Amino acid sequence: MTATFGVLSVAASVRSGEVSALDVLDAHLEVVASHEAGVHAFNEVTAEQARVAASMVDGIVAGGGDPGPLAGVPIALKDNLCTAGTPTTCSSKILQGWHPPYDATVVQRLAAAGAVFVGKTNLDEFAMGSSTENSAFGPTRNPHDQTRVPGGSSGGSAAAVAAGFAAGALGSDTGGSIRQPAALCGVVGVKPTYGLVSRYGLIAFASSLDQVGPFAMSVADAAALLDVISGPDPMDSTCLGEATERSASRLGSGVDGLRVGLITEMQGAEGMADDVKARLALAADALAGAGAKVDQVSVPAVTFGLSAYYLIAPAESSSNLARYDGVRYGLRAPGSADITDMYLRSRSAGFGDEVKRRIMLGTYALSAGYYDAYYGQAQKVRTLIIKDFAAAYENFDVLLSPTAPSTAFEIGTKSADPLTMYLNDVFTIPSNLAGHPAVSVPFGTGDDGMPIGVQVLAPALAEPVMFQVAEVLELLAPPASLSASRRSLRAPGAPADRGADL
Amino acid sequence: MPRSITTDDVAHVARLARLQLSQEELTRFTQQLAAVLDHARDVESLDTTGVVPTAHALPLVNVLRDDVVTASLDRATVLAEAPEVEDHRFRVPKILGDSQ
Amino acid sequence: MSPEPVVPAPSSGWETVIGLEVHCELRTQTKLFCGCRNSFGEEPNTNVCPVCLGLPGSLPVLNRAAVEYAIRIGAALHSTVQASMFHRKNYFYPDMPKDYQISQYDVPINAGGWLTLPGGRRIGIVRAHLEEDTGKTTHVGGGGRIHEATRSLVDYNRAGVPLVEIVSAPDMRSADEARAYVDELRAILVATGASDGKMEEGSLRVDANVSVRPEGAEAFGTRCEIKNMNSLRSLGRAVDYEVSRQIQLIESGGVVSQETRHWDEGAGRTASMRSKEEAYDYRYFPEPDLVPVDPPEEWVASIKASLPPMPSERRERIAEMSGLPAGSEAVVTVVRLGLDDLVEAVGAQKADTKSAGGASQAVAAIAVKRAANEVASDLAGAANLERSFFAKLVRMESSGQLTSAQARTVLKSMLEAGGDPEVIAEGLGFEAMESGGLEAIVEDVIAAHPEEWARYSEGEDKLAGFFIGHIKQATQGKADLKSASALLRSRR
């Protein structure tokens, strides 16, 4: 197997004509063929369309044209990103069989850059969950240990990258849905600044928090993907203007002199495992060793993040998911006596329990008499979190925390108790509430041998410095028994080997 | 501070959200929602006097588009997704009164 | 529900209180949040896209022209144009693709304001906010009646069309006043360019909040919201019916319950729309897919500067020029039909001919009357009318060169075929008459035959011929007989 597996290395090899996009695709499809049955990363593998796209890339290369910066790079798409003509389900029965008539903006941008889409990945229904167990089509399993969850809600995308089904993937992150599964699967996962990436065509969970972001095996690959999908979009009013600096612009700069804050409130949080705590300390030491000034910093309001999030996100989702009513598309329960009966029966049959819980929670938080106490109050907490982060960033360039409280847990162990499941997002939620970027970088393994991720948080639009720090963590990460096997697949010249420059 | 959520509350929000619950679901969901809301009590008890709510972490205003016609979708494509169609329209069961 | 009989409104003891909510479709090229065509009467479901169909993943982007029209409306209604935001109003209904409506809630783009009725009364405006329209539901089976239909069909062409909802204060006190308000508001909306004002096509839709209270009471009674009135006439009828219903209900010991009622034009009554217990809880919250609208001052100022004068200002101007009351029928008609320029033309002519200032109001008053009568009854012909010739005609009449009857005759001819009034008058032989000669002769003839005149005055029309014959004789056939007849009729 000589094909390269990283985003940048595939693109470079395909662009130079060293390897064909079709060969790269076939190599990935072979891995899919041998492991997908166990992992179940995909709701649909789009091999045929991928072959057509790969052939087109090869044709452009053969003709001497520019096939784009992601030429021939196999990408997996979370199944809540609209793909014209290809079913987009959100892993929900209510959307089963729906064919969007349009492509999400991020999908268009990747396609225009020469990427090849391998398939649509599994998720917790409507991105509500932290384990990818809440899928109408069955759970995704962690490629490192198939008895465990891959995290969620973008578990399919994280697993696809970890398993080598795709060089990169897109997910969506509302409260940690990219970073937490990235940590649990031992890959890099990025939640960009709110507004950096268009949400047009991302099926909404909680609109003020949702953001599309990449998964990849390396920090440089993730930054490259982000640079392709980011930028203003006339179809999304909440997109920011053109970024002044590319996300990848500071890679290779090291961390000498950078100020790194260890968030005090995120070191002794409830349910945080000792091995995770130890890895975080090691990461802080590593950065200090590389020349960063590492210090403790208090961001008091983040302790209210989880509560605020579980009021705001359900509230917005209760409204976003009202449209699944059986009138225009998707599931309709047959034989209803009247319209209300049809609504009740279609929605009850189409949504799973977690979606129902959140819709009801959100409806309650917005309902007359409770709005101020719940939704209104949560929006104020959001203000406090933004304020506290702003104070912290007066003294620090980036902040550091664990990504998830523990390594991947066994399938079925947390699904009976929603609150326990929600606690998985305690470290990732504050960035969503503040609209800030954050990245999860693999940093060794836990006592159980499963991957652990550390999270680098940065202020709005500070992706370049965030990746700068993340890359150094990647280089200094302790050898991990499991992720080592994946890293060995990297071709020479891939980002991990650039450490010598630093 | 609001009282604890009851099965009546859950039945009411389920109705507002057009969800039908069995008795077993009603009981189970009420317990689960109560646990989440109990956890949210730290937020309720926080003194936020004078704090302005944040609906959006964005620094944007006046995002406007020009009044220029763009292509609509092909009707056949649109209606192909519909559960029921009649006379080029989306057909729904009879509407009882005003749902507003 | 049992049928409620129509009863005449008790004439005293109760005061009617009416507030109106008017939904105005804006005349933009495209919808409020997407580039689909904003157009009425097209094939169903052809002007739709992911956004206005509420397809998963779609997002709204606000139409600048809709914001501009909203500001124009606000400026015309003396509202405060302010920074605003959008909220979601959540409820399930099949004509709403997202099952929520994007509207404005606690911070509308236009707050406060007023308009002035022709009679001079000022009606308060509470707000005028932007929102999206719904699709159109057709109830099928059961003769189209909603409660008898077997199924409904939905067309989303109208979904997402921009609306401005104008909410009045509860300032109106009768059905007539409610109609006058809608009439005035419609004229304002048309003047701003925001609306085509067509109630019959639904581009202007009126809901009425109606309550009654004992005369002299300060507290408002419980109100009912009346929907489904498709014309000014049905608005008047619906309000009258509802007032009677409420008074009768209270007088017979009942209590008015706050509810939405549907006006049934055929049956001539309102009926409760609520089918069951369903509580209203719209769960408004800030629309996270849109950012606030904070129109820069320069933009608002330039929009205000570009507005034409509003009907009330135009009535004031015509009143000032003519000395007629601003609320008089002639002035209201001239403004309603946009004939102000005819009156203005006379003013311009006056300056040219340097006539005495004292006479100018009387001249303008003649212009107003001619415009409100002859021109108003032949609007198609008004296209033939040259402004300067109209002015000339009015001056000929005011100077006594033509009698008013002759002037009307000449004007009718001008409306039919255009032309210079002097030439037309000459052709009709009017110029041969001494100034006021015909009128004097008519007076003489009348005075000479008092008995016949009395009979004619009481309605014996055939005697007109008798008088015409005498007039013809007295003028040696030079009199314009049409004018003579008109003069006779006007004296009767």
Give yes or no for a contact between A123 and A152, defined as CB atoms under 8 angstroms apart. Answer: yes
Find the CB nearest B16 among A348, A363, A433.
Answer: A363
* A78 is an active site residue: yes
Residues in chain C with CB shorter than 8 Å from the CB of B56 are 286, 288, 291
Within 10 Å of residue A257's Cβ, how many Cβ atoms? 9
Within an 8 Å CB–CB cutoff, is residue A210 touching chain C?
Answer: no
d(CA A388, CA C141) in angstroms, rounded, equals: 61
42-81 of C, contacting B, C-beta below 8 A:
43-50, 53, 61-67
CA-nearest residue to A126 within chain C is C56
- Nearest-Cα distance to chain B for C244, in Å, is 24
Yes or no, beta carbons of C50 and A98 under 8 Å apart: no
CA-nearest residue to B19 within chain C is C92
113-172 of A, contacting B, C-beta below 8 A:
none
Q: Find the chain C residues whose C-beta atoms sit closer than 8 A to any C-beta of A.
A: 50, 53-62, 88, 90, 92, 94, 97-100, 152, 154, 281, 283-285, 288-291
228-267 of A, contacting C, C-beta below 8 A:
234-238
Query: Which residues lie closer than 8 Å to A154 by C-beta, 6 or more apart?
Result: A78, A121, A123, A127, A132, A169, A171, A172, A173, A177, A178, A181, A189, A215
Joined together, the tokens standing for residue A467 give 């990746």
- What confidence score (pLDDT) does residue C434 get? 52
d(CA A130, CA A135) in angstroms, rounded, equals: 11
Residues in chain A with CB shorter than 8 Å from the CB of C152 are 339
Yes or no, beta carbons of C281 and A236 under 8 Å apart: no
**Distance, CA of B83 to chain centre:** 22
Give yes or no for a contact between A497 and A13, defined as CB atoms under 8 angstroms apart. Answer: no
Yes or no, beta carbons of A319 and C53 under 8 Å apart: no
Yes or no, beta carbons of A360 and B42 under 8 Å apart: no
Find the CB nearest A203 among C57, C281, C283.
Answer: C57
Within an 8 Å CB–CB cutoff, is residue C290 touching chain B?
Answer: yes
d(CA C445, CA C422) in angstroms, rounded, equals: 28
pTM attached to this predicted model: 0.90
Annotated catalytic residue within A13, A91, A131, A153 = A153
Give yes or no for a contact between A195 and A466, defined as CB atoms under 8 angstroms apart. Answer: no
Identify any residues that bridge with C128 across adjacent strands, giving them in sequence order: C110, C166
**Distance, CA of A179 to chain centre:** 5
Give yes or no for a contact between A257 and A293, defined as CB atoms under 8 angstroms apart. Answer: yes
Mean pLDDT calculated for residue range B6-11: 96
Find the CB nearest B92 among C29, C154, C295.
Answer: C154
Q: Which among C306, C293, C226, C297 is positioned nearest to C264, based on CA atoms?
A: C226
Yes or no, beta carbons of A328 and C92 under 8 Å apart: no
Residues in chain B with CB shorter than 8 Å from the CB of C149 are 94-95
Joined together, the tokens standing for residue A13 give 């090899």
**Distance, CA of A342 to chain centre:** 35
Yes or no, beta carbons of B2 and A345 under 8 Å apart: no
Within an 8 Å CB–CB cutoff, is residue B77 touching chain C?
Answer: no
Instruction: Please give the ipTM for the structure prediction.
Output: 0.95
Within an 8 Å CB–CB cutoff, is residue B80 touching chain C?
Answer: no
* A177 is an active site residue: yes
Give yes or no for a contact between C467 and C474, defined as CB atoms under 8 angstroms apart. Answer: no
Place of tokens 């549907």: C262
Name the CA radius of gyration of chain C, rounded: 28
DSSP C79-128: PEE--B--EEEE---TTSTTSEEEE--SS-SEE--EEE-TTS-EEEEEEE
Annotated catalytic residue within A13, A131, A177, A406 = A177
Place of tokens 């990436």: A197
Give yes or no for a contact between C343 and C325, defined as CB atoms under 8 angstroms apart. Answer: no
Considering Cα of B44, then B47, then B53, then B57, what sign does the dihedral take? negative
Query: Which of B12, B20, B70, B85 to mutate: most A Cβ within 10 Å?
Result: B20
* A153 is an active site residue: yes
Find the CB nearest B65 among A234, A364, A422.
Answer: A234
Query: Peptide bond preceding A153: is omega within 30 degrees of 0, i.e. cis?
Result: yes
Find the CB nearest A364 among B5, B19, B52.
Answer: B5
- What confidence score (pLDDT) does residue C430 get? 81
Q: How many helices (H) and strands (E) does chain B have?
A: 4, 3
Give yes or no for a contact between A236 and A389, defined as CB atoms under 8 angstroms apart. Answer: no
Yes or no, beta carbons of C285 and A319 under 8 Å apart: yes
Residues of chain A with pLDDT under 50: 1-3, 482-502
Residue type, B22: S
pLDDT in tens, chain C (492 residues): 334 444 444 557 999 999 999 999 999 999 999 999 999 999 999 999 999 999 999 999 999 999 999 999 999 999 999 999 999 999 999 999 999 999 999 999 999 999 999 999 999 999 999 999 999 999 998 765 666 788 999 999 999 999 999 999 999 999 999 999 999 999 999 999 999 999 988 899 999 999 999 999 999 999 999 998 989 999 999 999 999 999 999 999 999 999 999 999 999 999 987 654 455 799 999 999 999 999 999 999 999 999 999 999 999 999 999 999 999 999 999 999 999 999 988 876 554 444 444 457 888 999 999 999 999 999 998 888 999 999 999 988 888 788 888 899 999 999 999 899 999 998 888 854 554 677 778 888 888 888 988 888 888 888 888 988 888 887 766 666 767 777 787 777
d(CA A105, CA A235) in angstroms, rounded, equals: 8
- What confidence score (pLDDT) does residue A359 get? 98
CA angle at residue A197 from A194 to A202, to 5 degrees?
95
